[in-house]
Chains A and B, each alone.
Chain A
Amino acid sequence: MHRFVSQPLNVPHHEHPYYRADLEFEGVERFGASFVGLVFLGNPEADETTAQTPAQGYAGRFTVFGHSVCFGDAGHCDVAGRVSPFDRNPEHPLTPVNITVQITDALKRVEETQVPVTVLAFSSNPDDAERQDILRFSRLTLVTYD
């Protein structure tokens, strides 16, 4: 299991009421075995034994359908940009993606003005059990909609 704990994110409360809140994981990489991410708010000690309940800050989950096999030669699975402005090839299939988890109810239970996000990432490949780089992404954003 790989545990990621974010820096605290600012939580809008009564001064900025919202009807929906999303966590956006930006630039999630997909090379590697498929994995599940469990998301907790305000529970940096969460681990595989933590109950997925509101009391534990559980906010939701997401799955990344990963590509574990590189079937080309060296460099085949490196995400390459466009060769030129005239390049009409589709995006590289492993181009990092953004994944959204709706956390409206969980965020409304948070009483603090800041909250860290914990993600427990579990690989589908048992050989990855000790890996600490299962979840790889560029930025985490909390978005609320009013």
Chain B
Amino acid sequence: MTVTVAATPPTVSATILHRKSVTKLEAGQLADLRRAFREVIALAPSDDRGYQYFAGWHGVPLGLCRHHEALFLPWHRQYLYYFELALQRQVPGVSLAWWDWTVDREIPPAFDEAEVEGEANPLLQAPIRVEHARPEWPTESSRAPGSFPQQPELPQPSAYQEAMEAANFNDFNSLITGVHDEVHMWVMGTMSDPSWAAYDPIFWAHHTMIDRAWALWQAAHPGANPPSNLLGTKLQPNGMTVSETLDVNQLGYDYAGTTDHVPGTNA
């Protein structure tokens, strides 16, 4: 007889991965990131390991993203987590990287170069392959940085700093949401509409920066969590709870300025 068992998950020791600034990736790390994007983009739209599947969580066709509310940060943290796992399925050990738009005031070259070693740069652009698409819908991601007259520049570093100095979660969430929105509006193109934003590879570097901001703010404000009545809320579509998003280490990653490794005695 076969039964389904509600087994207690074993606890295991594990080494976390470190997400880094895209400008600090070593050549091999950037190559791995590109290769992982290239592989997930190549998968069929119907494949739930692929780029179209995950981009579709945020906008068309699933539209599950949460903005301008307390679930904004938790929802996007679990989103990055599952997408990073999809990248790691293609390239073990690869990590997302963040775009620090407070310092790097243009699209980072890694995401802006048309070609790398004779191949199209998978971090520049991705196709949008939605089933039953309407004729007016975009078929690939696009950008027009600084073209919106009311958002000619990226948000000022002072706006980011003001968010980081917020005293409580609601204020932090509100202020960092505003900064987040302004980056989307500066990039423009498909990034200016949540229906298509996640199809642009720069989306992931932008949101990794937002997630890092939350992680840094959390470290400076222990216990300053989202409202307690939301902690048990299951986030769509996989059901991770808000509580489960609160500790990035339990999700297998952290944010590092630099990392370096040398072989040990058993290497």
Contact = CB atoms under 8 A, between A and B. Distances in A.
Q: Secondary structure at chain B's binding surface: helix, strand, loop or mixed?
A: loop
Contact of B194 (A63, A65, A100, A122): A65
B69 A97 contact: yes
Interface residues of A, number: 23
B181 interface: yes
A116 to B, nearest CB: 21
B182 interface: yes
B150 A65 contact: no
Contacts, number: 71
Contacts of B63: 67, 71, 93
Contacts of A30: 67-68
Contacts of A69: 59-60, 137, 193, 195-196
A65 B192 CA distance: 7
Contacts of A33: 192-193
A63 B185 contact: yes
B181 A63 contact: yes
Nearest to B170: A100
Contact of B178 (A62, A97, A124): A62
Interface string A38-74: 1000000000000000000000001111111101000
Interface string B163-204: 000000000001000101110110010001111100000000
Nearest to A66: B193
Interface of A: 28, 30, 33-34, 36, 38, 62-69, 71, 90, 93, 97-100, 122, 124
Interface of B: 59-61, 63-69, 130, 137, 148-151, 174, 178, 180-182, 184-185, 188, 192-196, 236
